[in-house]
Amino acid sequence: MKQSKKQECEHYIGNRGIYDREIKKCTEYKNLWFIVFKDYPEDVEVSVKNICYECYTEIPTKDMKWNNSYFEKIKQQLKI
């Protein structure tokens, strides 16, 4: 059975030692994860897929546009 994006994200952060944060919303774009955690729903954390979890930037949830062109814009701004 195919995993949902949320399950994939939970697996990804769990493999990096993060077990105590519940995901409210997430999506994957190329080599990035965009994640909103339930304990901090005001911001979207942007993480580069890597061997460890690191938040590279935060975007206010109210300003977030959940589409590929916006994800690409963020990717270009981060120069990743």
What pLDDT does 10 receive?
A: 94
Share of the chain above pLDDT 90, in %: 85
Q: pLDDT at position 3, please?
A: 82
Please check the confidence at residue 6 and state whether its pLDDT lies above 80: yes
Higher pLDDT pick, 1 / 52: 52
Q: What is the pTM of this model?
A: 0.92
pLDDT at 70: 98
Mean pLDDT computed over every residue of the chain: 94
Residue labelled with tokens 């190329």: 30
What is the DSSP secondary-structure string of the chain? Answer: -PPPHHHHHHHHHHTTT--S--EEEEEEETTEEEEEETTEEEEEEEEE-SSS--EEEEEEGGG---SHHHHHHHHHHHT-
